[in-house]
Amino acid sequence: MALLVADFQQVGSDIFVRGLEISGSVAYIHSRIAKNKANPGLEGTELPLIPVWRAALVGTYRASDQLSYSLGWRFSGRQHSGLFNTTTGQYPDPNPDVYGGRSSFSVFDAKLLYRMAKHWSASVGIDNIGNARYFTLYPYSQRTFFASLKFDY
């Protein structure tokens, strides 16, 4: 199994523009069954539930101490829900984009945060801005609007 993980939590502040912070991660996982004495037909096939590529990137612009804007991107490559079926010669989920399948996805999210006082903040945002349809056994939420009011002590 080959594994490459790059995690760049907060690359830095004031990148290109004063107040801009960028963070994220990327992972490459080449997971294959190397040896299986019980079922040699599985050798060389992919392990279930592990996408080859997965990545996330978030940019946050702090306009002031009270106001910030964030834009995020999430990506996951194709993954399978079960082991390769040596009898049929295919994975148990040949169609990833239906109920019961596991899709790849690439989505964007946005959020606006306002700190009203020392312990109080409010935010609004949109997850999955492009309204992408993707599945992991069941359909993920499509475009979702949210708002929150938070007290931190």
What confidence score (pLDDT) does residue 137 get?
Answer: 81
pLDDT, position 99: 84
Q: Averaged in consecutive runs of 10 residues, what is the pLDDT profile of the chain (153 residues)? A: 61 78 90 90 89 94 96 94 85 84 94 96 98 89 96 91
Report yes or no: 67 and 113 within 8 Å, Cβ to Cβ: yes
Residue 12, pLDDT score: 64
- Give the integer Cα–Cα distance in Å for 26 and 42: 28
* pLDDT at res. 106: 97
Task: Name 60's Cβ contacts closer than 8 Å, sequence gap at least 6.
Answer: 20, 21, 22, 68, 69, 70
Element housing 27 (H / E): strand 20-30
| pLDDT given for residue 151 in this prediction | 96
What percentage of the chain has pLDDT greater than the value 90?
Answer: 51
Two tokens, residue 67: 């106001």
